[in-house]
Structure 1
Amino acid sequence: MGPARLFAVRIISILVVSFGCAYIFWRWSDTIAWSAWWIAIPLVIAETYSLSESILFAFMMWNARERPAPPMARPGLTVDVFITTYNEPLELVVRTAIGARDVRYPHNTWILDDGDREEFRIAAAALGVGYLTRGEEWNGRQRHAKAGNINNALFLTDAEFVAILDADQVPKPEFLDAVLGYFDDDAVAFVQTPQYFWNVPDSDPLGSQAELFYGPIQQGKDGWGAAFFCGSNAVLRREALMALGLRTYSRGADPQVRRAIRDEWARLEGLINEAGHGSGLRIPLEDALDVVRGARRRLRRGAPVGEVAFELRAGIHDVLDSHPWLPEEVVDELHKTMDSVEVSRIDQALAIQPINTATVTEDMATAMHLHAMGWESVYHHEVLVEGLAPDDLATMLGQRQRWATGSMQVFFADNPLFQSGLTFAQRLMYLATMTSYLNGFAAVVYIAAPIIYFTLGVFPMNAYPLDFFARFIPFFVCCQLLFQVAGYRSGGLWRGQQMSFALFPIWISATLSAAAAVFFRRHISFSVTSKEQVDARVDYRPIIPQIVAMVALVASSVVGILRWSHGDAETFPTFLSLGWVGLDLLLLSSVVRAAHYRPTPTDPVDQYINGSVLTNSPAPQRST
């Protein structure tokens, strides 16, 4: 974003905040129809939420950063390129592996096959790339989907930098040369490049291209030091990831050990009281209690948790060695004391998890914690990788639900507002993305309000027409102007607004699923986005809620017009509600068009592969 456009964005942002705050203050203070509070209050809350999202967007755009070209990549850096796959077709992964193998900067390419398929192992050897899958240590343990796959590979490789690609994301030869120069700054943890999809038509009916996000929004986040890691098309510093893994491990162990020592203190005191004064068991139990007391004192003085746990276990061993005659049940009790402070996470295949495994959007959570540690990030605005977007509505909806669910999972469990180490601006950048999914609840209110007026005659606002338009129109126009100026030359701006509103059932479902996962320990499954050819038939089942909403809006409008024509409804509320319905229908209609979209049949593999590429080039050393 050039200086002139940035200046215009800042002026419009000031207007958005000024007009928006004036409008919302007026709405709360003078216009609420308290006789219909049950719809009037939700409506003004929804409007307040929409204003807050506009303010967050304005704040984000205020500092949008257009970076100059980075330094040239220094020779001699070591890079591992990871291609993550689980159930994608072999041909698709081969296409990506060829592109990754042929990246110019010297590196090793690895196929991370979470499906452990023999044909992939053979293809990797033929292509001259490495092949990694999980070992027996993962059997019977939680796998953590893509995050676990990457973490497994991190401990089987050793390059300074790691490039991560999804199975369908084919890099250009200059990919690494274009971004490695940023790592001359030792504080940079990762560099993210755009996700661009070659199979998306110009009309982009599924809203896949996300040019506003991979452009002004990422540049805005970058300006505030919070460019996001988006799971693919990025290069990360191994040192930063390992430091994050160690920090996460330590943070998880600290409260566990403190709680265990407190509980063991109480348990040993109970055993001593049960043993009685004359019992020969009292002395060894009191010795064990002294060891626990000492561990508790050391923790209070700030000693490292791992060191305290180690010394507690050693102290209990000394007690057992000093009293070899103890009965088996007492020995078992003292072994329980040692086990209670076990911090090696033997329930996990890996004790250290560099990529965050607590959410299905491991990329956002990992980036946030790297930023909280003081690491920096870079958004490089150049298409260096081309991928494959979903070809049908159902697959797209599943992908969006996974993103939304993971984001809201982080919102509930690890809210950026309470993350120590983040700057105020970084907190807002993460919050802006997470709270955008609450738009589903606002959309329900915006759909319900005109329907309620047309059918029940209940209007949620007490206002004169001139007062309303004088306050609302400037705010609305400035919001749209900010959106257009900030996103100048970015495609799909209107489609993005449509999808943000029309996917309200997905956003609501994702928010509730995330809340259930965090507060009620419900499991969230990780679904891999399908890359298979879609059925040619139109399927309306995924958008039944939207269709029902559209039918209700149209039917209620007919009722409203009839009531107005018979003099049973006022003119201003009726025509305002009709305009409202028109806007709702325009927004919702995007999913109907998406349901009818069918891609032109192509064979993407033929664009990249022929029989000559399966050479017997030497492969990097493979691990399993």
Structure 2
Amino acid sequence: MSESVLFGFLVWNARRRDAPAPAPASATVDVFITTYNEPLDLVLTTAIAARDMRHPHATWILDDGDREEFRIAAQRAGVGYITRGEEWQGRQRFAKAGNINNALFRTDGEFIAILDADQVPKPEFLERVLGYFTDESVAFVQTPQYFWNVPDHDPLGSQAELFYGPIQQGKDGWGAAFFCGSNAVLRREALMALGLTTYSQGIDAHGRRALRERRARLEDMINDAGPGSTLRRPLEDAHTAVRLAQIGLRRGEPVGDVAFDLQVRIRDVLESAPLPESVVAELTGTVDAIEVSRIDQALAIQPINTATVTEDMATAMHLHAMGWESVYHHEVLVEGLAPDDLRTMLVQRQRWATGSMQVFFADNPLLRKGLSVAQRLMYLATMTSYLNGFAAVVYIAAPIIYLGIGVFPMEALPLDFFARFIPFFLACQLLFLVAGYRSSGLWRGQQISFALFPTWIAATLSAAAAVFLRRHIAFSVTPKVREESRVDYRPVAIQLVAMIALVCACAVGLIRWSVGAAETFPTFLSIGWVALDLLLLSVVVRAAHYRPAEPPPPITPAAEQARDVAGDLDAAGAPT
């Protein structure tokens, strides 16, 4: 019920924006095309289309795979090429977020347009969105993700028209439009301000923890030295220096200033009298403990959030918390390539869900300072939607239990429950229909949301393990090469078992009813419930059988140019 209330609250204030002002002629733009292991012709198609956009800009291929053929192809296509430098060797890379952050420090455009490797922009993309940035409080503008290779029946639920429509417009109305990782333009100033703020907060927390530990160790050393020891006075002076540093951090003084003052005081202690090497090492370590440089990472400043595999949502939330504003521009200006097989789609959805729940557990919007009440609810609504995986288990198990053994799994009579549940269910469906008027795929979206309950549960548990048990979450790049063509039910084995159990429960329920062991009304209402569950779950069977037409047609002249460049490389014997 809470999800329906949040959805109603969201769409109640949906914002439909007027056309923005013309793009400022002086606005400088860097277009980033992120890639790791995608095929060359796919990346080049996007890069060439981006190169040919009308507003003046620089286009860059950000190749996290560091492939020589991509470097050569970028040069021949007239676009820039950026990969990681030696400073990243042996250090955490942070996947797509690290790739973008690396490029941010190698370019200087006022605005950054981000495109995934398969997201091909239209020529007017920049012209249509840059005008919003005449409002200097706007941090980013997000446009819809639309997929050209999705058939009308959308068997994998890829065309998220409800999200890139009423939901994003609702979030926009409440000042919380999401950054979705691609098809967006961001203000560099906002990203850099976020990176500096995050760096300062991280250093501050690190410094507080380090000073607390060092102060405790100095207290132990003072106690061990005893009242008459010549070491007692220097250690007490060092303890005072640490205590003053702690006071400085609590007062909000810059970490660099606090570290410098601590260094001066500790140096005075070291010069006041000869000290044993063990004490010298301890006092020197006290200064090093609050050092503000980040030698453990390739970049000290990370503008795009690196703490989660859904760096886009976390970055947007932190920008909103800092007071920056966002815009959702409801016009398809980029056409992408959606997953065209079930296994690939599940990889993508699980990454989204895992990252969202990772933010929910580690950086809950209800506790994030700076967000308005409405913004907190907008982020919370998206994150908690993945908890529906557990609710789906209840919806599947309840009729099985009643039809199988006659026990209604609630403290209510079956008739009373259904008398309340059915009107509520119909009201929710009406709300979806009204909110998503003229949007297709509403029912398919509900099917996918319900049927992927194992994915949502696995993502929630994985995120919880990452946050509370420090388990590593690998960033899974959505494959762009089609999986084998045979039908494979293994990715949805749990759903198939649930469907079989539901059918068997119906058979048992009818037998129990026929012999007078079950009441008529609850039995047939439960069978109707089973029918609804089966209808929702059946989408995975259709998805498992789906095979797209071959070959996929090119969508822009850029595709033909990309094939020509790739063909020239092959003919020249370039490395592949």
TM-score, scaled to structure 1: 0.88
Alpha-carbon separation, structure 2, partners of 1:585 and 1:185: 50
User: Do residues 481 (structure 1) and 430 (structure 2) align?
Assistant: yes
User: Do residues 533 (structure 1) and 486 (structure 2) align?
Assistant: no
Which residue matches 2:287? 338
* Contact preservation (8 Å) 2:139, 2:186: yes
Which residue matches 2:571? none
Alpha-carbon separation, structure 1, partners of 2:411 and 2:216: 63
Q: Gaps (5+ residues) in structure 2? A: 569-576
| AA partner of residue 135 (structure 1) | G
Which residue matches 1:354? 303
* Contact preservation (8 Å) 2:121, 2:334: yes
Among candidates 431, 440, 447, match of residue 498 of structure 1: 447
Which deviations, in whole Å up to 9, do the C-alpha atoms of 1:94-144 show, x marking residues without a partner?
Answer: 111001111110001111111111111111111111111111111111111
CA 200–346 in structure 1, closer or farther in 2 if over 3 Å, else same: same
Alpha-carbon separation, structure 2, partners of 1:445 and 1:610: 51
* Contact preservation (8 Å) 1:82, 1:165: yes
CA 168–300 in structure 1, closer or farther in 2 if over 3 Å, else same: closer
User: Do residues 312 (structure 1) and 262 (structure 2) align?
Assistant: yes
CA 448–285 in structure 1, closer or farther in 2 if over 3 Å, else same: same
Alpha-carbon separation, structure 2, partners of 1:299 and 1:454: 63
User: Do residues 411 (structure 1) and 360 (structure 2) align?
Assistant: yes
Which deviations, in whole Å up to 9, do the C-alpha atoms of 1:318-338 show, x marking residues without a partner?
Answer: 433454x43332221112101
Which residue matches 2:196? 246
User: Do residues 255 (structure 1) and 232 (structure 2) align?
Assistant: no
Which residue matches 2:79? 129
Alpha-carbon separation, structure 2, partners of 1:611 and 1:151: 29
Which deviations, in whole Å up to 9, do the C-alpha atoms of 1:238-281 show, x marking residues without a partner?
Answer: 11111111111111222221222222222122223333445443
* Contact preservation (8 Å) 2:408, 2:414: no
User: Do residues 195 (structure 1) and 145 (structure 2) align?
Assistant: yes
Helix, strand or coil at the partner of 2:559: coil
Among candidates 363, 374, 387, match of residue 425 of structure 1: 374
Among candidates 581, 585, 590, match of residue 530 of structure 2: 581
* Contact preservation (8 Å) 2:138, 2:325: yes
Count of residues in Structure 1 that have an aligned counterpart in Structure 2: 565
Which residue matches 1:516? 465
Which residue matches 2:99? 149
Helix, strand or coil at the partner of 2:366: helix
Alpha-carbon separation, structure 2, partners of 1:345 and 1:152: 15
Larger deviation, residues 257-266 vs 393-402? 257-266
Which residue matches 1:14? none
Cα root mean square deviation, aligned: 1.8
Helix, strand or coil at the partner of 1:609: helix
Helix, strand or coil at the partner of 2:538: helix
Helix, strand or coil at the partner of 2:182: coil
* Contact preservation (8 Å) 2:62, 2:82: yes
* Contact preservation (8 Å) 1:257, 1:340: yes
- Compute the displacement of 1:559 (Å): 1.0
Alpha-carbon separation, structure 1, partners of 2:472 and 2:250: 36
Which deviations, in whole Å up to 9, do the C-alpha atoms of 1:189-226 show, x marking residues without a partner?
Answer: 00000000000001100000101100110001000000
User: Do residues 208 (structure 1) and 158 (structure 2) align?
Assistant: yes
User: Do residues 329 (structure 1) and 306 (structure 2) align?
Assistant: no
Alpha-carbon separation, structure 1, partners of 2:411 and 2:560: 69
Which residue matches 2:30? 80
Alpha-carbon separation, structure 1, partners of 2:101 and 2:414: 60
Alpha-carbon separation, structure 2, partners of 1:397 and 1:221: 26
- Compute the displacement of 1:353 (Å): 0.9
- Compute the displacement of 1:534 (Å): 2.4
| AA partner of residue 546 (structure 1) | Q
Which residue matches 2:342? 393
Alpha-carbon separation, structure 1, partners of 2:485 and 2:244: 70
| AA partner of residue 304 (structure 1) | P
Alpha-carbon separation, structure 2, partners of 1:396 and 1:314: 58
- Compute the displacement of 1:303 (Å): 2.0
Alpha-carbon separation, structure 2, partners of 1:165 and 1:611: 19
Which residue matches 1:437? 386
- Compute the displacement of 1:364 (Å): 0.4
TM-score, scaled to structure 2: 0.95
Among candidates 44, 60, 64, match of residue 10 of structure 2: 60
Alpha-carbon separation, structure 1, partners of 2:512 and 2:221: 79
* Contact preservation (8 Å) 2:204, 2:249: no
Alpha-carbon separation, structure 1, partners of 2:258 and 2:282: 20
- Compute the displacement of 1:397 (Å): 0.5
Give the fraction of aligned pairs with identical amino acids, expressed as a percent.
76
Alpha-carbon separation, structure 2, partners of 1:447 and 1:421: 40
| AA partner of residue 515 (structure 2) | H
Larger deviation, residues 333-342 vs 311-320? 311-320
Among candidates 171, 179, 203, match of residue 221 of structure 1: 171
Among candidates 526, 539, 549, match of residue 600 of structure 1: 549
